[in-house]
Structure 1
Amino acid sequence: MSKVLLPSLCELVAPGVAITALLLLPLGPILIPRFYLIFLFVYFTFFLYTQINHVFKFFITTKKIIHNIRTWNLHQKVNSPDTFSTSSGSASPLTARERIIADENNLDDVEASLKIYEDSHYIHTFIIPNYCEPEALLRDTIKRLANHRNARRCYVILLAMEGSEAEHEQKGDNLMNYFKNSFLHFIVTVHPPNLPGESRGKGANVAYAARTGCTELLRRGVERRQIILTVSDSDSAIPELYVKEVDRALTASEDPYMLLLTPPIFFSRNSFDVPAAVRVTDITWSAMVMSNLSNSRGLAFPCSTYSLSMVLAERVGYWDTDADSVGEDLHMWLKCFFKTDGAARSAPIFVPINLTNVQADGYFNNMYARYIQATRHYNGVADVAYTLRSSFGSSARPSSLMSLLPTADVAKSSMYISPYYWLDKLIVCVHVLEAHMIPATSGWLMFAAVPVMQLILFPPFSFLAVVEPDSNPILVSEFYSTLWNIVKIITVLLPFPLFATLGIYEYLHRTVDRELFRKAPAEYRTWRNALDYISLPIAAWMFMTLPSTLACLKRLVKSEQEYIVAKKVFTEDAM
């Protein structure tokens, strides 16, 4: 039965949850008021617990990000004083804070960690997929990598073009000529349109670029185990510190070829040029990604930008390209995890990758462009079925790793399988369900469940009554009356963890802008920007609840999605 029905049942989970949440709003108080009250109590309590947990994890991530930035800056100041010179031209002395950091970290340890970076034998290969992106944006993104000290020695650019884009050849040639002397290698790949079995999108482009580019690097004499693939977006501004931390994590790992290196994302390049609702949406998205990184079991999901070895990509068959792998970053992580029986793990890299907010001309055009981006993001709900199927379906056998290993290693393959693999699979399922089912349900239940139930069970006018007083559990049972009051109190408390997260974020944003991106004071967020959060209800409904619910419902009728990229207005003068 499981072999035949489980895949279908897995596909029904996402739409089933969304439909149930919508139906419970009016029907729960009428048909099953007692069960509905208990359900609301359990749901809201679980939601409140997870949000409080996320606040603490976000705080830990914030501390590690700031610590990394300040340690890096301290090293730069000691070893590259010209970079940190004063207006008079002399090297600026260490501040009191920097002396504390030096004492805490021991400069010798900082020097040792930098030595790892300078002696790195890895070839960092940056895959930059794009479709109809402004050439100026791509040039700016690549230029930031070209400014890294080791770019000419150990950086490779894989510019992943789409064959269906008009004039893609000219754009690729222009960029290759511009950066011809800036990197170890600069390779342009062109993903052919309409390949059988493929769904158009970032995943298909990355898969083609990785296979084609890695084959070319091997032909040029680069050793397979040297190649570290970093998948980015066309607007990912990757700091040099990120590459240094990737090198450090790989060097410190017992098995660097089973790591997915996952950084936080940050939106600071054009944040003041977009509506507040767009800013707030991306801020909360960024905060969720950051809290996810503080995971002690190495089960942190990547978003947008991440790194892994060519060895691992080969072992799992590179990226999937079908319609169910549209969320390419999370899907690749899940594929690596399941195809290696839990051996592949995340290594968090606490260095923010600076991205560009969706931007279009005009307020309403910008809001619509962000909504389109949200619908594309939430189409990744397909990973719910993939996760359940991989965890509990007929393919969830502890033997998949053996087919991926060389014959000589098969006898030793058990060393890769964690004795807690089944527990880890359960945790992964919970995290995936939380990532996709909470957005599709919380907006409706948090905002409407209590008011609708109040209206139905305690209508303002008698002619609106649909539940007899004798059938109203709140009136006839002290237990349910108390439970109802507790539910109302919990709903009042639900936003407070988010407020705490946003308060921590404001401090982090200014620190990163000032100390990592070195922006001018006029470009910092100030506490006046707290007014942005007035738009949270609009942002939550328009960019989370509605698109996530529609994405769940669309799983009932699978159809090819149009390939629409996020709109970005960009000039060479932009950050």
Structure 2
Amino acid sequence: MWKWLSRCVPGLSLLLLIALLCLAFPDAMSRPPDILPWSRNHHPPPTTPHGNGPPRHPMPLSLTQKTFLGYTLLVHFNAFTFVCRLAQAFSRMLKETRAVLRRRPSSQSSSCTPSFCDSPMMTPSISTEHPICFDLGSLEDGKEGEVIHAIILPNYSDDLGTLQTTLRVLAYHPRAATQYEVFLAMEQKEITAPEKAATLISTFQERFRDISGTFHPAGLAGEISGMGSNVAWAAKHIVETRTEDTVDCRDVIITVKWMATDTHLSQDYFNEIRHKHWQHNAEAERAFYASPIIFDRNSNSVPILVRCADLLWAFAGVSAMYPGCSIIIPTSVYSLPLALAKRVGGWDGDPTAIGEDMHMLLKCYFETAGDIVTHVIASPASQCNIQSTGDDNWGPGALTLFARYRQALRHMWGSLDTGYSVRQSVGCLVGKGSRRFQLKVRHLALFHLLFEAHFLPCHLTVLLVFSAVYTACVPASSMNPTLAWAFWITGVLRGLVLRGLSFVGMNACITLYDSWYDICVGARARDMTKAGVNDTGFSFRKWYHPRQLAERVCFPIAGTVFGSIPAIHAELSHFWTDRLVYRVSKKPTFASAPVALPV
């Protein structure tokens, strides 16, 4: 019963909010349809001779109305502060991403080909003509001053060509042959998995320190098929093979590319982890590394609502990377040392771990009694937007929208992690030994991030819809002045104060994002040109292009369709099940001529 109650916390909060609205405004909930403002029989309430309307002495606010006022102001203020933090985070990303690129040794810099030199993204601000060479020798106290990167690549029914392209991108990295160990985390029930693994291993075995395949068995008790269980099984293999290894498990960094096999990481991602690992070596065994994500491959060829939804998804991850943030929840890509993974007992493969990236961060946090250190890696993971080719019944645009909703539902199914956090928090408060710890500011910051991820989207939508309907039905002159003021501050029909400021702030964030995007896609274009990998796709942005201008208006719609609605869908579904059937999302393919592996 306790497990069910805890997993349903987000859904229960939604029901409590609706109950609060019913208790605070019983007149609105019982108002007959024939007096709605759009009804033919609607008659406005009688007014005074001056037209100001009754009552001259408004009824005092009830306790439930005061609760509603406090909560709606809190939710809208939280949305506004989210935008402020997001702007801070993008300002930080602009500065740190430029610094990351300038740390590249001059031997790795290359001039761009004419096809990319004409792009507005190739600006002098990211030029590597005078790079700042960064030598880690003074920081490296290990035997050889290196780390081993164990890269888990979870996949299920992914196209062989997509996997090959992803591995070619990794094989281009200077340290791939000596420091990268790739684990193809597959499902045993996928018939073609062994054949694909054999093909990839034979093709790339000389390009990496090691490459192997792991196959998650079907039907294991307490586990479900999906990316999370594949990662958990591959991680067990890593731990087993490192039992008698001479390399310190602190110096083995496990990287999980969670979103899909189409995720591409720059060499800078691994170089920066190496840099931070030795720079903060005293805390290396409890370090957790996270990077932002960027949809820069096919965003110009998908419907605008899909593009905006992925834009907001990327924003959600970046929002916790502002200067001074106490903890970061990863989105899609993250890394941690093998020592930490062993300390917390590896990855989970049960239904509650469907949000694998967030879930692993939470597991590390609670299993270590909050004793982890999170680092931002200012080298984004390149992602593809979902894109369908259509079928006989639906066009590509419609199927892409349907597929994006399924993906959003899977994302929001991760609200199970709120229940997991509630259970772990209670256990840590009443537990004994090393896992017992007191609530502190950092713990509250973590729960605030969970609130923004699993509560804020659906609560904000419910409050917005209610305020719009209520203010349309009840004139401001009939409300308590304090109530009317609150609706004016937060409403959508009679006032756009907090929501208006948030809208303007989001547009400012999109402007900052455009500048950061230009730097990132330009750097990736140069890297792929040098590597000879020309089938990864590039979507350059121009702020004055109609499709980019349209994003500045359409993002609230996309946030509702692919954020709030699937969140409500998932949270209400958790009342009767915690299992979601995993379906592979369709991603685009990029045509190219055959490209030889870089030497």
Distance 1:73 1:8 in 2: 48
Does structure 1 conserve the Cα–Cα contact (< 8 Å) formed by 2:83 and 2:502?
no
Does structure 2 conserve the Cα–Cα contact (< 8 Å) formed by 1:301 and 1:330?
yes
Q: Which moved more, 1:218-227 or 1:370-379?
A: 218-227
Partner of 1:274: 302
3-state SS in 1 of match to 2:134: helix
Does structure 2 conserve the Cα–Cα contact (< 8 Å) formed by 1:474 and 1:480?
no
- 1:332-481 to structure 2, matched below 5 A, reads 332-361=360-389, 362-393=396-427, 396-397=430-431, 399-401=433-435, 422-446=440-464, 448-458=465-475, 475=478, 477-481=480-484
Does structure 1 conserve the Cα–Cα contact (< 8 Å) formed by 2:11 and 2:575?
yes
Partner of 1:414: none
How much does 1:525 deviate? 0.6
Q: Which moved more, 1:392-401 or 1:303-312?
A: 392-401
Distance 1:555 1:329 in 2: 20
Does structure 2 conserve the Cα–Cα contact (< 8 Å) formed by 1:301 and 1:333?
yes
Does structure 1 conserve the Cα–Cα contact (< 8 Å) formed by 2:366 and 2:428?
no
In structure 2, do the counterparts of structure 1 residues 479 and 198 end up closer, same or farther at CA, with 3 Å as the change threshold?
closer
Identity rate of aligned residues, in percent? 25
Distance 2:455 2:235 in 1: 32
In structure 2, do the counterparts of structure 1 residues 457 and 312 end up closer, same or farther at CA, with 3 Å as the change threshold?
same
Report the TM-score when normalising by structure 1.
0.83
3-state SS in 2 of match to 1:238: coil
Does structure 2 conserve the Cα–Cα contact (< 8 Å) formed by 1:127 and 1:231?
yes
Distance 2:171 2:86 in 1: 31
Partner of 1:412: none
Q: Which moved more, 1:225-234 or 1:548-557?
A: 225-234
* Equivalent residue letter for 1:514: G
Does structure 2 conserve the Cα–Cα contact (< 8 Å) formed by 1:379 and 1:551?
yes
Does structure 2 conserve the Cα–Cα contact (< 8 Å) formed by 1:257 and 1:309?
yes
Distance 1:169 1:132 in 2: 12
In structure 2, do the counterparts of structure 1 residues 396 and 382 end up closer, same or farther at CA, with 3 Å as the change threshold?
farther
How much does 1:474 deviate? 5.9
Partner of 2:316: 288
Distance 1:201 1:99 in 2: 41
How much does 1:484 deviate? 3.9
Does structure 2 conserve the Cα–Cα contact (< 8 Å) formed by 1:262 and 1:349?
yes
Partner of 1:45: 73
Partner of 2:511: 503
* Equivalent residue letter for 1:386: Y
How much does 1:319 deviate? 0.9
* Equivalent residue letter for 2:510: L
Match status 1:226 vs 2:251:
yes
How much does 1:503 deviate? 2.3
* Equivalent residue letter for 2:134: E
Match status 1:157 vs 2:182:
yes
3-state SS in 1 of match to 2:14: helix
Task: Determine which structure has the larger helix proportion and give its number.
Answer: 1
Match status 1:133 vs 2:129:
no
Does structure 2 conserve the Cα–Cα contact (< 8 Å) formed by 1:230 and 1:306?
yes
3-state SS in 2 of match to 1:111: coil
Q: Deviations over 1:445-488 (max 9, x none)?
A: 22x12221123434xxxxxxxxxxxxxx9636444444443443
Partner of 2:293: 265
Match status 1:17 vs 2:21:
no
In structure 2, do the counterparts of structure 1 residues 101 and 15 end up closer, same or farther at CA, with 3 Å as the change threshold?
farther
| 5+ long unaligned stretches in structure 1 | 88-94, 403-416, 459-472
* Aligned mate of 2:328, from 255, 280, 300: 300
Q: Deviations over 1:318-338 (max 9, x none)?
A: 111111121111111011001
Match status 1:553 vs 2:572:
yes
Distance 1:288 1:185 in 2: 34
Distance 1:207 1:124 in 2: 17
Distance 1:320 1:228 in 2: 18
Distance 2:94 2:439 in 1: 33
* Equivalent residue letter for 2:540: Y
3-state SS in 1 of match to 2:320: helix
3-state SS in 1 of match to 2:319: helix
Does structure 1 conserve the Cα–Cα contact (< 8 Å) formed by 2:73 and 2:486?
no
How much does 1:38 deviate? 3.7
Does structure 1 conserve the Cα–Cα contact (< 8 Å) formed by 2:298 and 2:538?
no
Does structure 1 conserve the Cα–Cα contact (< 8 Å) formed by 2:100 and 2:379?
no
Distance 1:15 1:522 in 2: 40
Match status 1:187 vs 2:229:
no
* Equivalent residue letter for 1:563: Y
- 1:91-130 to structure 2, matched below 5 A, reads 107=132, 110-113=133-136, 120-130=145-155
Partner of 1:524: 540
Distance 1:390 1:284 in 2: 29
* Equivalent residue letter for 1:164: K
Does structure 2 conserve the Cα–Cα contact (< 8 Å) formed by 1:204 and 1:321?
yes
Does structure 2 conserve the Cα–Cα contact (< 8 Å) formed by 1:125 and 1:228?
yes
How much does 1:398 deviate? 5.7
Q: Deviations over 1:488-511 (max 9, x none)?
A: 333444433322222221222222
Does structure 2 conserve the Cα–Cα contact (< 8 Å) formed by 1:341 and 1:421?
no
Partner of 1:252: 279
Q: Which moved more, 1:177-186 or 1:271-280?
A: 271-280
